A and B are shown apart, each in its own frame.
Chain A
């Protein structure tokens, strides 16, 4: 290769390498802020801040959803199977909200460690299948990830 071109090639590699390094260090330093939510285990162990609004994400615990009879209030537990955070929310839930489904709740933790949510988002997972397949899996005793229940 011509020496001038070789030099320009090295310059290009240098630009790519160092910009990657810079962005990598920045995103490593800010990793706590890039995460959209805290897992329940961080909230229970006190790593999440209590003074302002945070997001907590996890699975809605089986059998934990309680709806009020005379209002839109709903309470449930968010879990990552290591720890659970109780959540209270007043409002309409997204369609995909349900037990054993992912959800992200944003709001403030009160003094008893209950998240007073102002917004609930349903988190969809990467599993796509027709209803018949889901039904067949269910009958065979598997969940949608192919694990034995």
Chain B
């Protein structure tokens, strides 16, 4: 059991394991995304008040949920890298940042597109939307900070501290609609108590959330593999892979 985890610290192993997982996960993700999208867009009833425009929920909510969860992946990888000095944790942290940034951007963009017809404005500086914008800047900040160092070890340390400090923002994003008066509505899916979204709309939404988690994992693993190849470009195992691919 433990040897499996210890092996994850070795770049060729991590590269190979990520490749094996991806071979299964990519098709599953694509099927779930397409199925969820068709179900949500074509086979769910319209909303009694918003009509069809509510269907953007099937992109907006999964992107936002996974953008928040992805931050924890990045911050926990940062903590592991600080405490145990594991280089592979640095790689995971660096790989998670651009994926999280993309998801946050999708959530903000779809929110603006939905907000214009529903609220009457593209943008409003309310607590939820502003804290989500801060989340985007935190993700982009980690990418920029990492790239600004030549020494990757120093870069890893600085980014780990930044992502740990930024972790404060996640509960703020999540609870902002309950703590302050905001234009954004409170969550419809509730962990405790009954959800305020009809089951016929909820199930495709849950499928899409699962699909976005899988999508995040795929992108994370692909980024990890790319980062490993770049970091280890001078080592024997990368040269071996390169020559095998070149021979094809």
Contact with B along A97-139 (1 / 0, CB 8 A): 1000000100000000000000111111111111111110000
B46 touches A130 (CB 8 A): yes
A35 to B50, CA, bound (A): 25
B137: Cβ under 8 A from any A Cβ = no
- Per-position contact with B for A11-25: 1 when CB-CB < 8 Å, else 0? 110011001100110
Nearest chain B residue, comparing its CB with the CB of A130: B45
Q: Which residues of B contact A144 (CB under 8 A)?
A: 48
**Is the pair A94, B161 in contact by a Cβ cutoff of 8 Å?**
no
- Give Cα distance in the complex from A26 to B23, angstroms: 47
- Secondary structure of the A contact surface, majority rule: mixed
Cβ of B181 and Cβ of A36 under 8 Å apart? yes
Contact B119 A123, beta carbon cutoff 8 Å: yes
Closest A residue to B127 by beta carbon equals A34
Q: How far is the CA of A133 from the CA of B77 in the complex (A)?
A: 45
Q: Is the CB of B183 within 8 A of A123?
A: yes
Which parts of B163-217 form the interface with A (CB within 8 Å)? 164-165, 167-169, 172, 180-183, 185-188, 196-198, 200-201
Interface size class of B (residues with CB under 8 A): 35 or more
**Are B127 and A36 in contact, with the CB atoms below 8 A?**
yes
Contact A96 B118 (CB under 8 A): yes
**Given A9-B83, A15-B161, A36-B126: A122 and B120 interface contact (C-beta under 8 Å):** yes
Count of A interface residues, CB-CB < 8 Å: 45
Measured between beta carbons, the chain B residues less than 8 angstroms from A35 are 127, 180-182
B47 at the interface (CB under 8 A from A): yes
Give chain A residues whose Cβ lies under 8 Å from the Cβ of B67: none
CA–CA, A20 and B8, complex, Å: 32
Q: Kindly name the residue among B161, B182, B183, B197 whose own CB sees the greatest number of chain A CB atoms within 10 A.
A: B183
B39 within 8 A of A: no
Q: Chain B's nearest CB lies how many Å from the CB of A54?
A: 12
Which A positions have Cβ atoms within 8 angstroms of B? Answer: 5, 8-9, 11-12, 15-16, 19-20, 23-24, 27, 31, 34-39, 57, 93-97, 104, 119-135, 144-145
16 residue pairs from A and B, CB less than 8 Å apart: A12-B83, A35-B181, A36-B126, A36-B180, A57-B181, A95-B118, A96-B49, A121-B121, A122-B118, A125-B186, A126-B186, A126-B187, A129-B197, A129-B201, A131-B46, A135-B48
Interface set of B (CB-CB < 8 Å, partner A): 45-50, 54, 57, 79, 82-84, 117-121, 124-127, 161, 164-165, 167-169, 172, 180-183, 185-188, 196-198, 200-201
